[in-house]
């Protein structure tokens, strides 16, 4: 889709594989929005559209609280013009706005390559997201990856969402691997907190929606602008 520049890719693809992924029993857990999919503008537009329809003005700073989290849990705990309303009904309103939005998400550079490389090299991988399964399946279709061949932990699978450790604990269990042997990629502080609390061995903070300083302060071990370097490193596993 023209998202990866050849010069940048050739430099970043030579970066070394994260040490944990080179060990036996390693695996990879990937967030969806902001990690595999550049969708911040899409979600922000949907929230603004829904709130405007309700006659509410909500600052972008307030919307940051929804980043990486299940909307119903935020609506239930964050004070706002929605106080007293059913969080699930509010969430359905936002999702309806999302479905009708003319703004469409695009893959993060390297996303399709990374998933393909995991399949070719046999590196265990799962998507761990606060989104619902339908959004994950649509994203995998966009990336050209078979839904049936991709393991996933979605909003429907967890009693408590990020920043609780449950999503990443479930991701590790789904792969059948120890959390400390896994690498996770996340773009939101809530997701980074979830991964760290689950005991994930290395967390890569994706600077697609937050500056590196924010992600490192949240507990990321390192940061990356996209998935190009990680994809190249995983591809190199097949040539050893």
Active site residues: 31, 33
Closest listed residue to residue 180, CA positions, set 196, 199, 205: 199
CB 192 within 8 A of CB 221: no
Q: Can you list the alpha helix ranges (DSSP code H) found in 78-181? A: 87-100, 111-121, 133-142, 166-175
φ, ψ at 163 (rounded to 5°)? -85, 5
Tell how many helices (H) and how many strands (E) occur in the chain.
11, 8
CA atoms within 13 A on the CB side of 95: 14
The three-class DSSP label of residue 70 is coil
Rounded to whole angstroms, the Cα distance separating 97 from 73 reads: 18
């Amino acid at each position: 889709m023209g998202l990866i520049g050849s010069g940048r890719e050739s430099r970043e693809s030579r970066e070394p594989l994260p040490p944990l992924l080179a060990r036996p029993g390693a695996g990879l857990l990937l967030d969806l929005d902001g990690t595999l999919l550049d969708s911040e503008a899409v979600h922000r537009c949907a929230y603004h559209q829904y709130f405007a329809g309700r006659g509410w003005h909500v600052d972008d700073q307030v919307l940051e609280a929804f980043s990486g989290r299940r909307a119903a849990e935020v609506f239930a705990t964050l004070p706002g013009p929605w106080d007293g309303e059913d969080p699930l009904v509010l969430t359905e309103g936002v999702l309806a706005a999302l479905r009708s939005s003319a703004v469409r998400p695009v893959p993060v550079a390297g996303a399709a390559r990374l998933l393909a490389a995991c399949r070719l090299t046999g590196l265990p991988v799962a998507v761990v997201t606060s989104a619902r399964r339908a959004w994950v399946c649509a994203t995998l279709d966009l990336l050209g990856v078979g839904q049936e061949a991709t393991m996933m932990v979605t909003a429907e699978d967890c009693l408590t969402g990020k920043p609780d450790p449950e999503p990443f604990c479930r991701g590790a269990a789904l792969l059948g691997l120890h959390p400390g042997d896994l690498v996770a990629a996340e773009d939101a502080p809530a997701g980074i907190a979830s991964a760290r609390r689950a005991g994930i061995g290395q967390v890569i903070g994706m600077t697609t929606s937050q500056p590196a300083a924010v992600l490192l302060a949240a507990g990321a071990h390192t940061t990356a602008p996209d998935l190009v370097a990680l994809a190249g490193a995983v591809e190199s596993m097949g040539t050893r």
